[in-house]
Amino acid sequence: MPRKRITASLAALAMAGAMALAMPTVVSAATPETSTNSASTTAEQSFVVSEAQFNQMFPNRNPFYTYSGLVQALSSYPGFANTGDDATKRREAAAFLANVNHETGGLVHIVEQNEANYPHYCDWSQPFGCPAGQAAYYGKGPIQLSWNYNYKAAGDALGIDLLNNPWLVQNDPAVAWQTGLWFWNTQSGAGNMSGHTAIVDGHGFGESIRSINGSIECNGGNPAQVEARVSAFRNFTAILGTTTGGNLYC
């Protein structure tokens, strides 16, 4: 059975953990980031989350996690928070950001906190190996992307060489947000569907948790962590003026 791991920083508990992720699904490459200031402004105007709401959600965030970086990343996945009616668009934005909130302790941590885990995320059975070094593929960014094969898949989809330069995820805010959106929109992880599909097709927030952490949290694995995600989701949907929908738990 293939290994399923992607690092999660459970910063809300001042602990580092891991979230499950299946071998990545290959999807068509996204157009590389080429947005101008004008395009970025247009994306900001159409995004269902305003900068003021973003700051309200993350009052203690690390300055690395910029609103402008998130807006820049939107062009990579134009269906994100832009599919269905207005309530669904806002619900998806809230769901993504609630999970990101949990993984990074409120957008505080950029990298996995448990450095002892760093050498663990190199799968030498992959034909492309670990050219950046065995300890280079630890969790980084809003979704705490880890494992060499996930950096390869995300980089291929985004048109960025993340296999050879995984540190871009912790050094470039737009790239960091792009990797989070790559996982959310295209990867089923430890579940049966992507987070995007879970929300826009009405399967519920609980299925987005399952895609990120599977049985580590779901099916009674860690009810407290599930409750923390649901609590953030409820808070963020209220900020965005939408409803949670059903099936909040997994």
pLDDT for residue 220: 97
Angle of helix 173-186 versus helix 86-104 axis, rounded to 10: 120
87-132: pLDDT as tens digits:
999 999 999 999 999 999 999 999 999 999 999 999 999 999 999 9
Asked if the model's pLDDT at residue 46 lies above 60, the reply is: yes
- Region 4-11: mean pLDDT is 36
Contact of 154 with 183, CB cutoff 8 Å: yes
Asked if the model's pLDDT at residue 57 lies above 60, the reply is: yes
* 103 in active site: yes
Among 53, 87, 47, 55, which Cα is nearest to 181's? 47
Contact of 54 with 173, CB cutoff 8 Å: no
pLDDT for residue 171: 98
Taking the C-alpha atoms of residue 200 and residue 82, their distance in angstroms, rounded to an integer, is 10
- Mean pLDDT, the chain, whole residue set: 88
Percent of the chain with pLDDT over 70: 82
Which has more confidence, 89 or 45? 89
Asked if the model's pLDDT at residue 42 lies above 70, the reply is: no
Task: Count CB-CB contacts under 10 A for residue 29.
Answer: 12
Q: Taking the model in full, what pTM does it have?
A: 0.85
pLDDT for residue 25: 53
The domains located in the chain, with CATH, are: 6-25+34-240 (1.10.530.10)
Taking the C-alpha atoms of residue 94 and residue 230, their distance in angstroms, rounded to an integer, is 11
Percent of the chain with pLDDT over 90: 82
Full 3-state SS string of the chain = CCCCCEEECCHHHCCCEEECCCCCCCCCCCCCCCCCHHHHHHHHHHCCCCHHHHHHHCCCCCCCCCHHHHHHHHHHCCCCCCCCCHHHHHHHHHHHHHHHHHHHCCCCCCECCCHHHHHHHCCCCCCCCCCCCCCCCCCECCCCECCHHHHHHHHHHHCCCCCCCCCHHHHCHHHHHHHHHHHHHHCCCCCCCCHHHHHHCCCCHHHHHHHHHHHHHCCCCCHHHHHHHHHHHHHHHHHHCCCCCCCCCC
pLDDT for residue 97: 98
- pLDDT grade for 44, boundaries at 50, 70 and 90: low
Q: Of residues 103, 112, 207, 217, which has the active-site annotation?
A: 103
- Region 30-47: mean pLDDT is 54
145-171: pLDDT as tens digits:
999 999 999 999 999 999 999 999 999
